[in-house]
Structure 1
Amino acid sequence: MNTVPATASVVIVGAGPAGMTAGIALADAGVNVVLLDKLAEGANTSRAVVVHARTLEVLEQFGVTEQLHEHGIVVPHFALHDGDRVLARIGFEGLPTKYPYTVMIGQESTEAILSARLEKAGAQVYRHTEVTAVTQDGEGVTVEYTDLHGNANSIRAEWVIGADGMHSKVREAAGIGFTGATYPESFVLADVRMTWPDPRDEVSLHLSPEGVTVVAPLPDPQPNRYRIVATVADAPEHQDLAYVQALVDARRPGAHVQVQEIIWSSRFRVHHRVADHYRAGRILLAGDAAHVHSPAGGQGMNTGIQDAAMLGGLLARVVEGAPGATLDEYEKTRRPVALGVVAFTDRVTRMATLRPLPARLIRNLVIGTATKVPAVRHAIAYQLSELANR
């Protein structure tokens, strides 16, 4: 294990997609940047699987978009179901972008691609390194950490980026509030092999009084691998084959789906929160440290990567001598985006889980009627693709 240096221009805490994207932007600009992460390795499960059009545009500047295509699958359609009824189909074709679709790719592959690109840029992730304290003064920031063996040490930096997730120690150290709440339901995440009636160029969202369910195709040599995300009242600690089969049968009745294998599964609680500020002095936030929300729409990782690309570019300019006020553009631009994503995903989640039958019937009528209008379908695709974030 390499020794963490004593100083750096920028320290990034957290080496997920957001942290690595910021690191690439800074290292490409010649900034001395160090990434610290407490995990022994990057993601080895699929977790976030959707890469939207705007993110593909943003990552093009770093030369990794083509690799995402190579390792993922292109999915240009989105369908909305209530039980066995299709309420609407949304196509991404015709969007004003080179990438009128989503790319489905496991987060482990996305992180591997970004990690290789980060190394090519000349930066390094120091793993088994858990940050314990972050203290700033007028001249810089001291980041204290412990290594694999529990030894305490520190690194001094001009700037620190907290990309260390929802429970960010960097955000807490900066005294930045994280306003929002927690959904009462829990979420089940499962990668499975199963028979599925829909084409593999389509993601489907299923409305149900029991909860919202998303089914998305995943890249695999065998064309029967899918991601299932579902809200449930109280998910069991372990999701076995029978549990997932019953879940799919209830949410997609009459489809005769057969779940053959669970590759990986998890459960989690979902919050909808946004940091009160994205900057406190020399400390900045990106990714889940700055915003978390429902996975409906698959926009979490995408928003974080877009945060990081902008922040890395602005911070590189400041390190090179631009006024510190240059960084004000970051919060001014990106925080409203996060607020919009949180509001949008919250509306989708609550709309999808309506329980009273009259409300569900009205919802279905409105959706079915509105989405017959091409302009409405285009607007929904534009929102999902995050192209409005340009």
Structure 2
Amino acid sequence: MKNSRRKAKAVIVGGSIAGVSCAHALIAAGWDVVVLEKTSTPPEGCATGAGLGLDSVSEKLIQPWITQPELLQVLSLPMTIEHEQATDADKKITWTLTRDDNFNYKAMHWADLHRILYHSLSPEVVLWGHLFVSFSISDDKRSVKVQAKVLQTDETIEIVGDLLVSADGCHSAIRKTFLPDHKLRYSGYCAWRGVLDYSDNPQSETVVALKKAYPDLGKTNYFDIGSDGHAILYELINKRINWIWYRNQTEPDFKGNSVTTKVSKDMIEKMLTAAEKVWIPEFVKVMRETKEPFLNAIYDSDPLEQLYWDNVVLIGDAAHPISPHGGRSTNMSILDAAVLGKCLEKWGVEKLSSALQEYQSIRVVVAREQVLFSRRMGRIKQRLPLPDRELFDPVTADQKECEALRLRNIPYFCDVPSILI
């Protein structure tokens, strides 16, 4: 029966991890796929950028998509421990709040994960340097026409498909078409972040001191609550340290729709001076020796109740902008892609509405709970007010309060939708 169906076509807008994951899932479901990405070239050899945590569910979903599954092991380090601690700003000492020794994530660099997903697609699938312009749905709701500008030539092209997938991030232009009043919510804080590459001097004084202060680096995701926000520290392959410092501040004025920006030397120096008043010296030295740290404004949005309209569907951050404190953004994108692919395979293009309705019914509740949990966790760790509790105090917090900080408390932490089993 499945082989008698005509081959359907999807146009995916956005070539980040959500978009290329969706391409894999839809190709596996028997669809033709084209991905439109405004960036001119793949992010090969990206030295800066961010680390991410890949959970065990995402790892299993990705393996059949990629041509070299062993690369998931080669390009990652196991994070088997989640360590929540606090720092005394005056005494410059740390102490453990809670520790989860059954944590099961992989630490990867964003560019490494994207590269193995992208290179496992046929070269013609992703159209680089193609800026999404607009779309229109046919009167009979059976097709969608997408317009894109080829940035190199300035010409506009049209692509017709059965389905338009919005994987264009938290500032999604496609989402705004249907929900023009839906706004992103600034969290009240930004993240300073960077990756220290110490491969040229693995026994440097800075690295030796850091590993003495954080003895489980290489297998642990360290979360640290200080007097001014909280921080994250973990190791990546090829002798790199990923660090993040979340600081409360007024909303920055970034250009365009970007949530990240490069920063001036003066901004960096002010940040480092402030860091010396909050964190232990071993951590501050890592910050000082990091090339090109950058600033990331933290946003989410109130959860959506609808993820599709006719033959247009949202996935990834376009569907559920989320703050990073549940470790979910990348993992949600991969799961969205896998679920959408299975729903389309189950129902076929002839029953596209049923496929998208099932996708929405599976993902919308999970997304709502995870977005709200992550928002709440961020406010707790930033010591920002919540209506139903006192500010978190790491000095007086009891065991129950500390254990509530663990990532595994997020709803649907390890759940796998039945359609994927």
What TM bracket, shorter-length normalisation? 0.7 to 0.9
User: What corresponds to 2:230 in structure 1?
Assistant: 212
Matched, 1:261 2:308: no
Give the alignment partner of residue 316 of structure 2, picking from 264, 287, 306.
Answer: 287
Give the alignment partner of residue 59 of structure 1, picking from 57, 62, 82.
Answer: 62
Retained in 2: the 8 A contact 1:39–1:128?
Answer: yes
In 2, the alpha carbon distance for the partners of 1:9 and 1:367 equals: 55
User: What corresponds to 2:118 in structure 1?
Assistant: 115
The worse-fitting range, judged by mean Cα deviation, of 234-243 and 30-39 is 234-243
Deviation at 1:214, TM superposition (A): 1.4
Say if 1:41 and 1:50 are closer, same or farther in 2 by CA, change over 3 A. farther
Deviation at 1:57, TM superposition (A): 2.7
- Which string of whole-angstrom CA distances, capped at 9 and with x for unpartnered residues, describes residues 227-283 of structure 1? 324234267952656455445433433657522522342212222213341101100
- Aligned residues: percent identity? 18
TM-score by length of 1: 0.84
In 1, the alpha carbon distance for the partners of 2:243 and 2:353 equals: 43
User: What corresponds to 1:40 in structure 2?
Assistant: 40
Deviation at 1:78, TM superposition (A): 1.3
SS of the residue aligned with 2:171? coil
User: What corresponds to 2:200 in structure 1?
Assistant: none
Say if 1:367 and 1:48 are closer, same or farther in 2 by CA, change over 3 A. farther
Say if 1:355 and 1:229 are closer, same or farther in 2 by CA, change over 3 A. closer
Deviation at 1:8, TM superposition (A): 6.9
Which amino acid in structure 2 is aligned with residue 258 of structure 1?
Answer: K
Deviation at 1:109, TM superposition (A): 0.5
Retained in 2: the 8 A contact 1:29–1:316?
Answer: yes
Deviation at 1:73, TM superposition (A): 0.7
Say if 1:311 and 1:74 are closer, same or farther in 2 by CA, change over 3 A. same
SS of the residue aligned with 1:263? coil
Give the alignment partner of residue 345 of structure 1, picking from 374, 379, 385.
Answer: 374
Retained in 2: the 8 A contact 1:177–1:277?
Answer: no
Deviation at 1:17, TM superposition (A): 0.9
Deviation at 1:143, TM superposition (A): 0.5
* Alignment gaps of 5+ in structure 1: 1-6, 94-99
| Pairing of 1:1-390 with structure 2 (within 5 A) | 9-43=9-43, 44=46, 45-63=48-66, 66-83=70-87, 84-93=93-102, 101-119=104-122, 124-137=125-138, 138-148=141-151, 149-175=153-179, 178=182, 181-193=185-197, 194-195=206-207, 196=210, 197-198=213-214, 199-200=216-217, 201-220=219-238, 222=239, 225-233=241-249, 238=263, 240=265, 242-243=269-270, 245-253=272-280, 255=282, 257-259=284-286, 261-273=289-301, 274-322=303-351, 324-354=353-383, 359=390, 364-369=395-400, 380-381=407-408, 383=410, 386-388=413-415, 390=417
SS of the residue aligned with 1:118? coil
Retained in 2: the 8 A contact 1:87–1:368?
Answer: no
In 1, the alpha carbon distance for the partners of 2:182 and 2:338 equals: 22
SS of the residue aligned with 2:162? strand
SS of the residue aligned with 2:40? coil
Which amino acid in structure 1 is aligned with residue 328 of structure 2?
Answer: Q
Say if 1:387 and 1:178 are closer, same or farther in 2 by CA, change over 3 A. farther
SS of the residue aligned with 2:228? coil
Number of residue-to-residue matches in the alignment: 369
Retained in 2: the 8 A contact 1:297–1:384?
Answer: no
Which amino acid in structure 2 is aligned with residue 386 of structure 1?
Answer: F
Deviation at 1:92, TM superposition (A): 4.8
SS of the residue aligned with 1:173? helix
Retained in 2: the 8 A contact 1:212–1:231?
Answer: yes
In 2, the alpha carbon distance for the partners of 1:248 and 1:345 equals: 25
* Alignment gaps of 5+ in structure 2: 1-6, 88-92, 198-205, 253-260
- Which string of whole-angstrom CA distances, capped at 9 and with x for unpartnered residues, describes residues 132-163 of structure 1? 10111222111111102211121111110000
In 2, the alpha carbon distance for the partners of 1:313 and 1:345 equals: 27
User: What corresponds to 2:255 in structure 1?
Assistant: none
TM-score by length of 2: 0.78
The worse-fitting range, judged by mean Cα deviation, of 334-343 and 310-319 is 310-319
Which amino acid in structure 2 is aligned with residue 313 of structure 1?
Answer: K
Retained in 1: the 8 A contact 2:229–2:245?
Answer: no
User: What corresponds to 1:3 in structure 2?
Assistant: none
In 2, the alpha carbon distance for the partners of 1:239 and 1:251 equals: 21
The worse-fitting range, judged by mean Cα deviation, of 268-277 and 304-313 is 268-277
SS of the residue aligned with 1:39? coil
